[in-house]
Chains A and B, each alone.
Chain A
Amino acid sequence: MTRKFPDPIGADEFLRQLRRYQKGSVSRRHFLGVTGLGLATAVMASAVPGLRGRAWAQGKIGDRVSVATWPNYFNPDNYAKFTEMTGAEVQVSVFGSNEEMLAKLQAGGTGWDVFVPTNYTITTYVDLDLIQPLDLSRIPNFVESAYEARFIEPGSVNGQVYAVPKNWGTTGFVVNRDKLKMPLDTWKAFWDVTRAEASGRVMVHDYQLTTIGNALKYFGYSFNSVDPKELAEAEKLLIESKPHLFAINSDYQPSMRSTDAWMSIAWTGDGLQLNRDMPEIDYVLGKEGGELWSDFYAIPKEAPHLDAAYAFIDFLLDPEVNAREVEAHGYPVPDTRTTALLPAEMTSNPIMYPAKELLDPLEFGAAVTLTDPLRAEIMARFKAA
């Protein structure tokens, strides 16, 4: 599947400039000028007082907004701020996989106002009529030109916008270097060490895409493969590894923190949060590749508090607010206005912005993996094994 990314300055060029800026080889002015961020920064500077002028800030949006998202993926202070400004309380539910979110929406009556689907799932939500088109005039903080195009594109289906970007990131693994000192920079090593030195101390996600995908990487297959033969090999690896796992759970932070687990498949932000508090924990991207993803804010078809949903998304996309999100959870944003507000130690952090040669082999998840019955069944069999 080839995709075209209409790029104003080019994502790679942007990242290159960003890195040059971070290394200090170009000035801030040069960086802002080249990337067009200068204007954005100027706009942004007035943005926060601007929030107060929004209709929703006057408190007519009801008393709540219900959000379905992922673990360790928001800044509680921001949510408290939203409540303070609008009077609407934020109810958060946390999920372990896109499949779980989809299953809940399919069964109906979730009561969610906002949910956070991953790039490759959006077409399925549209096909199943579970998501509603967005009225972008109600999300003025979403300024398309400020975003890297490849991270916006999955939010649109047939020319209609259904979702706006939240964060992007990678799927790698975290490893506690006090416990595991051998070189580990590939998925091959990840699974080999799992069945040897790290036996009993490794976690994988309760999520078919990443767990099966990174098992496929062991053999050098595509992260997105639905080929029965390749999947059979991945299943064999998973089942062999199962006795050596500590747990199958998408919320691996508590176990990594307590050092019950020494290694786990992980997402960018969890890697950063763990590394920030426990420097002995590294975040590693497998050299073979793996997943590059972007998450979105979207509104389910039957959202009971539509006004609150729009207000909430608009609030979070304000660059100031968004920057505080990133500072808390450590997932990069595709919004250049927000990135410009981040402290240098974040924008130069290789966990958040990995080197190009590590990013290049990564793949976006493919829509087919979400509905493929074989991948679903292999995951279920692996868990039940």
Chain B
Amino acid sequence: MRLYAAFIYLFLYAPIALIVLFSFNAGRHAASFECCSTAWYPRTFQNTFLIEALTNSLIVAGTVATLATVMGTMAALALQRVRGPVRVAFDVLTYIAIIIPGIVIGIATLVALVAAFDALNPLIAALWPGGPEGAPRLNLGYGSVIAAHTLFTMALVIVIVRARIQGMDQSLIEASADLYATPWGTFRQVTFPQILPAVLAGFLLSFTFSFDDFIIAFFVAGSKTTLPIYIFSSIRRGITPETNVIATVVLGFSLTLLIAAQVLMRRRARGAGGGGAAP
């Protein structure tokens, strides 16, 4: 059994080790390996477009995770009190948003936005006070990627947070109400601390999904390049060790986040004895 586990871990990590190793390639082609040089690291960091793609991805993922977590949590809380057809409609939409493949979301968003922009742009140009020359044009970009990513991640947050609410001790809420706490007070003091782990998990999942998504952004990013799109086109352009450097850096970045999260959790766990809701 232990041997089996070891084998699986080897399977999981051999390709990653290969990526990291090849980032220290001294040659120009990634197809053959010449040991060893860190020359590609500074070169990669001076690459404006790569840094820009990384920044774009961080902005998009950050916005998506925030929007999805706030909106999803709001909806999950509200849905507790909703019954009947509205509830059914919401449940159906939530599951459809999760089940529909990313590629279909990407295509549908592309097609709908292009149709909408084609209709709206002449209208804006006609109504623009400064004349059609200076009128802004709606185009694919940050907005469309964020909107499309938020759809899926928001649905994910709704499911996660609702599961947590269902598992919550309802008597605490009743007790709080009996003690004449305002609904807001009850939420802040009782509900929120209890659903916080689910909210955080939702945030992290949303961030990861958005940061790593290729296919939706591929369709709707317009002229904006996210990190996965950059990597994809650099694979097509002919692989240089640069691609491996990016991967190694992203891996290091995720590991740092993971460790930071771990440390933070441990500190929180220690501080939790003091009571009170976390900010």
Contact = CB atoms under 8 A, between A and B. Distances in A.
Interface of A: 63-64, 66, 71-72, 89, 91-94, 96, 107-112, 251, 253-254, 257-258, 304
Interface in B132-178: 139-141
Contacts of A112: 223
A109 B31 CA distance: 34
A109 B48 contact: no
B49 interface: yes
B256 to A, nearest CB: 28
A59 B117 CA distance: 35
A270 to B, nearest CB: 11
* A-B residue pairs, 5 tightest by C-beta: A111-B223, A109-B222, A109-B139, A109-B140, A94-B237
Give chain B's interface secondary structure class: loop
B114 A107 contact: yes
Contacts of B110: 107
Given A108-B139, A108-B140, A109-B139, A71 B239 contact: no
8 contacts: A63-B48, A71-B238, A93-B237, A94-B236, A108-B139, A109-B223, A111-B224, A254-B31
A89 B49 contact: yes
Given A89-B48, A254-B31, A109 B141 contact: yes
Interface of B: 31, 48-49, 110, 114, 117, 139-141, 222-225, 233, 236-239
A92 B237 contact: yes
A108 B114 contact: yes
B233 A110 contact: no
Contacts of B224: 111
Contact of A71 (B48, B140, B236): B236
Nearest to A83: B48
B140 to A, nearest CB: 4
Contacts of B237: 71, 92-94
Contact of A111 (B222, B233, B238): B222
B236 A108 contact: no
Contacts of A96: 236
B225 to A, nearest CB: 8
A328 B47 CA distance: 22
Nearest to A63: B48
B31 A258 contact: yes
A254 B236 CA distance: 10
Contacts of A66: 223
Contacts of A94: 233, 236-238
Contacts of B223: 66, 109-112, 304
Nearest to B239: A254
A110 B31 contact: no
Contacts of B114: 107-108
Nearest to B219: A107
Nearest to A258: B31
